Structure 1
Amino acid sequence: MRLVTRSDFDGLACGALLLAAGVVDHWTFAHPKDLQDGLVEINENDCLANVPYVEGCGLWFDHHSSEFERNQLEGKYKGESRITPSCARIIYEYYGGKETFPNFDDMMVAVDKVDSGNLTIDEIMNPQGWILVGFLMDPRTGLGRWRQFTVSNYQLMEKLMVACKDKSTAEILEMPDVKERIEVYEEQTAKFKEMVKAHTRTEGNVIISDLRGVDPIYTGNRFMIYSMYPDQNISAWIVNGRGGHGCSAAVGYSILNKTCKINVGHLMLKYNGGGHEKVGTCQFSDETMDEGLPKMLKELCELANA
């Protein structure tokens, strides 16, 4: 089967597990919105993981709450969809857990932590092991924007999927393609913080970072902002869309100030996006951005400061 998943740490872990279990033998990475818009052809030979359901797929694994709101899919698919810290956790348990995957303990702990944002300040500021790999592979960290690497992020995802099966955490971190990314990540952390401060404002409980038109966007993990703004409990991270067109907004609970109560996925759904209770994204086109983005931010601030 072909795996269709996101190009992030959870997608990588899903791929490594499905590959190890002999379920998939090739893969493609897709943006959730492209699947929703019917831009990726899907058939019964496709296994979808951590992406929205597409009718006609052979298997579907997902853990996003807004999927339940979008479709009452019970009984319409093979696979499993429920709320868990990561989609990889569903696949791990579905195919037999530790008995099937004896070498995946460290990776499973890290993917659950990173995907659910269940991290300490020390893990955010000084990531080690698989948590560091998780940050390196997160598109929001921004390493994909730097083109001086020997292989692309896409190619590294493929390498790591295969390597996960039989390499230790230490061996993964010593892979030359991983090491060169660690160097860039570490040298850009200070620049990232300065950039965030220059383009961020707060409105009550909400951190709003608007990086449209900012070039370059330095590399930094998505959780660092919460250590910089400890009094706020939710953030909106806005960047230009693909090819500089429109924009995307990623909204998420602070993982350090855990006082937010709004349903982010539900709000994003109103703006043609989706997500979980605690995190979600939506996109705006050039035509809808000027009206839609301020409207979404206004609603977010009203909900978060109620």
Structure 2
Amino acid sequence: MPTNISIGYDPAPVGKYPISKILTDSDLDGVISGAILKTVYPEAQILQGEATGMEQGIYTSLVDKDTVIADLKYIDGCGLYFDHHESNKPDSENFPGRWMNLNSAAEVCYQYYRECFDLTKFAPYIDDIGKFDMALFSLDEFLNPNMILKLGQVIDRNDFAFNIALIEEIVNGSVESAFNLPSVAGKIDNFFAQRELIFKHISENSYIKDSFAFVDVSGYSGTEKISGPLLTSQFPDVDGVVAFKKRGKEANSVKVRFYGNSFNPNRRDIDFLSIAKELSKRAGGHRGACGFLLDESQTKDQVIADFLKIVNK
């Protein structure tokens, strides 16, 4: 990824723009971005969203000039905007806030506000948040995770209340105190207790073709999060994984996700985002991790066939 790209403008002196709502993604990066922004704007209400909901316009009515958006798609008319996703880069540089090609939206927020606010509690974790968001860790680091990588595996788009409580504890306490909350510790313990069962489910619902693993976990009945690295860790020799996942609690709503395999040092250099955009106009994410919501006119088999046709051109 090229370095030192930063676009956007300051609508007011840093930290002085009036903000009453903070809307972020509901993953680790979104939670930490939310905690940074809540530190800057302590009276603001925290709202959680997710990429598919942004594409569907679910949150548009919530956004106004007093809203800051981070780690999600830009909505015209918001007060401030911070992100790092390639697919979310605004078409014009004339927007309030910053888009930067860093490893996390949290780092974008941190860099923007660090000179004007005390964000030292976040400094030790910015690198690991980026490593998790961009899957830049080793297989051993993933299977034997530190505190941040553990948090990343249990923060879940299906539990906004949990994420908001986590943000509040980080703001009022620290990342460490949030990690040690009984609700967080219990969720982490449960996840790792169930991990072998998750691996078994992945194995029983997958196959490999043309150096790609195709995995259908849309029928998984557990509540644990099945992340991209969790999937790629089970196929360390493939170039990437195509996964079908259930979207939240909507039984008939399926997400398609493409993951480049960062655990394979000999993987082909593939722009999965370009492929995803050929298959769906609503695709978003990064070059190495992206996806879209399965359209009613699409079948899983057709997506797989089209994917292989494009990638093997």
Q: TM-score, normalised by structure 2?
A: 0.84
Pair 1:155–1:246, CA change in 2 (3 A): closer
Call closer, same or farther: CA 1:168–1:28 in 2, change over 3 Å: closer
Q: Does 1:158 align with 2:176?
A: no
SS at match of 1:52: coil
Q: Tell me by how many angstroms 1:118 deviates.
A: 0.9
**Once superposed, what is the RMSD of the aligned Cα atoms?**
2.2
Residue number among 94, 110, 113 corresponding to 1:95 in the alignment: 113
Change in 2 beyond 3 A, CA 1:263/1:95: same
- Identical residues among aligned pairs (%): 19
Q: What is the CA–CA distance in structure 2 between the aligned matches of 1:225 and 1:26, rounded to whole Å?
A: 34
Aligned equivalents of 2:43, 2:303: Cα separation in 1: 39
The match for 2:272 among 244, 248, 264 is 264
CA-CA distance at 1:47 after TM superposition: 0.7
Residue 114 (structure 1) shift: 0.6
- Which residue, out of 65, 72, 80, partners 1:44? 65
Q: Does 1:79 align with 2:97?
A: yes
Q: Deviations over 1:147-185 (max 9, x none)?
A: xxxxxx322212221222354554333210111101211
> What CA distance in whole angstroms lies between the structure 2 residues aligned with 1:238 and 1:198?
14
Q: 1:275 aligns with which of 285, 288, 292?
A: 285
The 3-state SS of whatever aligns with 1:277 is: coil
Contact 1:103-1:165 at 8 Å conserved across structures: no
Task: Identify which of 289, 295, 298 aligns with 1:289.
Answer: 298
Work out whether residues 114 and 131 of structure 1, in 8 Å CA contact, stay in contact via their aligned partners in 2: yes
Given candidates 161, 184, 199, the residue that maps to 1:193 is: 199
For residue 25 of structure 1, report the CA deviation from its aligned partner. 1.4
CA distance in 1, matches of 2:172, 2:252: 41
Residue matched to 2:235: 229
Give 2:21's aligned residue.
2
Q: 1:138 to 1:243 in 2, by over 3 A?
A: closer
Pick the aligned partner of 1:254 from 236, 255, 261.
Answer: 261
1:237-293, CA deviations, whole angstroms, 9 ceiling, x for partnerless residues?
Answer: 1023452124111111111114232222222223121111111111124x3232xx4
Match of 1:150 in 2: none
Residue 305 of structure 1 and its aligned partner are, at CA, apart by 4.4
Q: Secondary structure at the match of 2:152?
A: helix
Structure 1 equivalent of residue 137 of structure 2: 119
Structure 1 CA distance for aligned equivalents of residues 47 and 98 of structure 2: 20
Deviates more, 1:251-260 or 1:16-25: 16-25
Partner of 1:178: 184
Please show how residues 129-140 of structure 1 align to structure 2 within 5 Å: 129-139=147-157
TM-score (norm 1): 0.86
Structure having the larger proportion of residues in helix? 1
Give yes or no for the alignment of 1:26 onto 2:45.
Answer: yes
Distance apart, 1:218 and its partner CA: 5.2
Structure 2 gaps, min length 5: 1-19
2 CA distance for matches of 1:268 and 1:217?
A: 27
Deviation at 1:211, TM superposition (A): 2.2
Q: Distance in 2 between matches of 1:217 and 1:175?
A: 19
Amino acid at match of 1:73: S
